[in-house]
Chains A and B, each alone.
Chain A
Amino acid sequence: MSDATVDPRFRRKPPKRPLRLSWADERIRGIVWQVLVVGVIGSIIYWLWSNTVHNLEVRRIATGFGFLNREAGLPIAEHLIPYDPTDTYLRALTVGVLNTLKVAVVGIVLATILGTTIGIMRLSKNFLVSKIAGFYVEVIRDLPLLLQLLFWYTVMQGLPGPRQSMNPVEGVFLSNRGLLMPALQWEGAHTAAVLASVAGIVLAWLYGRSARAKQMADGQPRRIWPAAVALILGLPIAVWLALGAPWTISWPALRGFNFRGGMSISPEYAALLIGLVTYTAGFIAEVVRAGILSVNTGQWEAAQALGLRSGSVLRLIVLPQALRVIIPPMTSNYLNLTKNSSLAVAIGYQDIVSIANTTLNQTGQAIEGIAIIMAVYLTISLSISLFMNWYNARIALVER
């Protein structure tokens, strides 16, 4: 309602209440308490800080991040970027961050898929399907994650050695050294193909938008997936063929006591990933189930009565409403998975915590080491939070 339509008598501002200097005044009490709390917290921080500085001086420990440029001399088994023990601590810590991200990103994607599937299964009318999902959730949620990680790691260790490794398909080996698979010899043409695939996804998205716009114009729904598949798969294949179709496979082979060639998933990474994914999926399943149940059955009925098929009801009516309930607790679960990945240290997967721990043991730079770990997790967590909050705000429900 604009001001013009309001009676001038009701346009005046609320009166200011004078501040009364009395302990009975609610606002005075509020101010006193706030001053008190800020003062106490400030003194605690000051005491911690001065104490730390004093102790460092007494023990003659140099502060600062200068140690980051020194040679690390610590071996790291898994690295996404080239790494050698003669590299600096900075490089080693970067490898650790990437290892944490490798398990967190893949874990979040897989846990979402598995959790959503189990959540929907638990809602199934089929007795067996819903009971299996219910059993999964109850067992997984009720056992401590550390125990589950140790369980999976023990399972990995229980696999046969490299010489007796399982060989289900030609070129694939499963042993206590991990899972080995044939790998493609990476060349420029493959990078080009990946870029073409990304371009294909963008084009397919644009095509989907224009198809929807055309449907809105003439009413005829269009099949989007054939063109989308052609763009996303066909385009990179065409680019790859045009660049001479390089195709060199590196096969893993047993040389001596270990495998050479191919690509491998280490038992530590596999145990951590499986543990985190199955554990978090148990929670995500409940979030998804609660979200779908939060949509009144009347919504299903109204949409079905209008003649919509159940797939359309789910897509157009139920999911948009369920997502609003699902997103905030889903954010918590993503954050939990990321932070829980620090339990990697227990099974020897070298994530940021593991590498930072070794670093602070070797250099004695405990405060800096802990600060780095905190900064890394804070950055990752805030990024996830910001993205999820943005998404949540985008789909927020308009009411009143």
Chain B
Amino acid sequence: MTRAGPEAGAVPAPRFTHTATNDLGHETKMSAALETDGFIASSVRTDAPPAIVLDKVNKWFGALHVLRDVDLQVALGERVVVCGPSGSGKSTMIRCINRLETHQEGRILVDGIELSDDLRALDAIRREVGMVFQSFNLFPHLTVLENCTLAPIWVRKMPKKHAEELAMEYLTRVKIPEQAKKYPGQLSGGQQQRVAIARALCMKPKIMLFDEPTSALDPEMIKEVLDTMVMLAAEGMTMICVTHEMGFARQVADRVVFMDRGEIVESGTPEAVFNDPKTERLQLFLSQILRGH
């Protein structure tokens, strides 16, 4: 769609290859290659229906109009980074996608299912959408392993043994299998956030939402979490990520969406958005971000 099409798998020396099942149930061989310059090839699948559709979404908190006619389509395998000043509605928008917030006008379709008051539809959507929070939100009374197996056991009805094997697999993937028996309070912030990512992945979601996953972390821990997210991106996961990490956006995003005052102001490839901002608002935001770094 943006930088490179699905044919990007043909880039020399793919480093990651894995088999995934897409939402149509077809097994597809996906080669998510890391290009030599550190950029990740796009895994956008234009042949499949879009993973997420937001159609003229409006939301108010009391009298405050926090989302204004938000239109956004995310293709299967696409990686979208959302940025914008605080209070611009970024978090509210992605929280609407798994209905942690309810929108009051417009339509939201996830994986082809429309979000409504229908609890069954909501269950179906939440099973397929994983979320990672700024403040981790691990369950403090459960071990790391129990945090990861809880939803597979109670939502996916998976036998405990399978759930534990799966959890260990993902904990290995985020490089903390040795912490499985510990409690969240015994881990560092970076480790907790990686557990949170593994916990979401244990549900084998098709879509992952990241709500400022590194904002609560010390600088030296940001990298370990970003590396985990880059790894996910390289595997072709559909992702929407609210973050101010411009380096991550440049490396991973197919598209950057800039929001301000509840609206999507600009959207395009990272180069287009960061190097050639069209609107004054984005120029102002970028100058502030760059000054801060």
A residues adjacent to B (C-beta < 8 A): 215-221, 296, 298-299, 301-309, 312, 316-317, 320-321, 324, 397-400
Contact = CB atoms under 8 A, between A and B. Distances in A.
A398 B183 CA distance: 7
A15 B153 CA distance: 54
Contacts of B140: 321, 397, 399
B186 A400 contact: yes
Contacts of B291: none
Contacts of A400: 185-186
5 contacts: A216-B161, A219-B160, A301-B133, A308-B154, A399-B186
Best-buried of A301, A302, A320 by chain B (most CB within 10 Å):
A302
Contact of B160 (A217, A296, A298): A217
B38 to A, nearest CB: 31
Interface residues of B, number: 36
Contacts of B251: none
A296 to B, nearest CB: 7
B151 A306 contact: yes
Contact of A298 (B137, B141, B158, B185): B137
A308 B140 CA distance: 17
A82 B139 CA distance: 54
A307 B160 contact: no
A306 B185 contact: no
Given A216-B161, A217-B161, A309-B123, 13 more contacts: A217-B159, A218-B159, A219-B160, A298-B133, A303-B139, A304-B98, A304-B126, A305-B100, A306-B203, A307-B151, A312-B154, A317-B139, A398-B183
B151 to A, nearest CB: 4
Given A307-B127, A398-B185, A400-B186, A301 B159 contact: no
B150 interface: yes
B130 A305 contact: yes
Given A308-B154, A309-B123, A302 B159 contact: no
A320 B141 contact: yes
Given A305-B98, A309-B123, A219 B155 contact: no
Nearest to A213: B160
Contacts of A302: 131, 133, 137-139, 196
A299 B157 contact: no
Best-buried of A304, A307, A321 by chain B (most CB within 10 Å):
A307
A358 B119 CA distance: 64
A298 B95 CA distance: 12
Interface in B191-243: 196, 199-200, 203
Main SS at interface, chain A:
helix
B135 interface: yes
Contact of B159 (A219, A306, A312): A219
A316 B157 contact: no
A397 B200 CA distance: 23
Contacts of B161: 216-217
Contacts of A296: 135, 137
A19 B119 CA distance: 72
B65 interface: no
Given A216-B160, A312-B154, A399 B127 contact: no
Contacts of B126: 304-307
A291 to B, nearest CB: 13
B232 to A, nearest CB: 17
Interface string B59-86: 0000000000000000000000000000
Interface string B127-167: 10111010101111100000000110111111111110000
A312 to B, nearest CB: 6
A219 B130 contact: no
Given A400-B185, A400-B186, A306 B199 contact: yes
Given A219-B157, A221-B157, A307-B123, A399 B100 contact: no
Contact of B135 (A221, A298, A317): A298
B145 to A, nearest CB: 13
Contacts of B129: 305
A299 B186 CA distance: 18
Contact of B155 (A216, A301, A306, A317): A306
B153 A219 contact: yes
B45 to A, nearest CB: 24
A188 to B, nearest CB: 46
B153 A307 contact: no
Nearest to B183: A398
A307 B159 contact: no
Contact of A316 (B138, B150, B158): B150
Contacts of B151: 306-308
Nearest to A398: B183
B76 to A, nearest CB: 20
A217 B123 CA distance: 24
A51 B119 CA distance: 76
B229 to A, nearest CB: 17
Contacts of A220: 157
A218 B160 CA distance: 7
A325 to B, nearest CB: 12
A316 B155 CA distance: 12
Given A305-B100, A306-B203, A399-B186, A316 B137 contact: no
B178 to A, nearest CB: 15
Interface in B160-195: 160-163, 183, 185-186
Contacts of A215: 153
Contacts of A317: 139
A308 B155 contact: yes
Contacts of B123: 307, 309
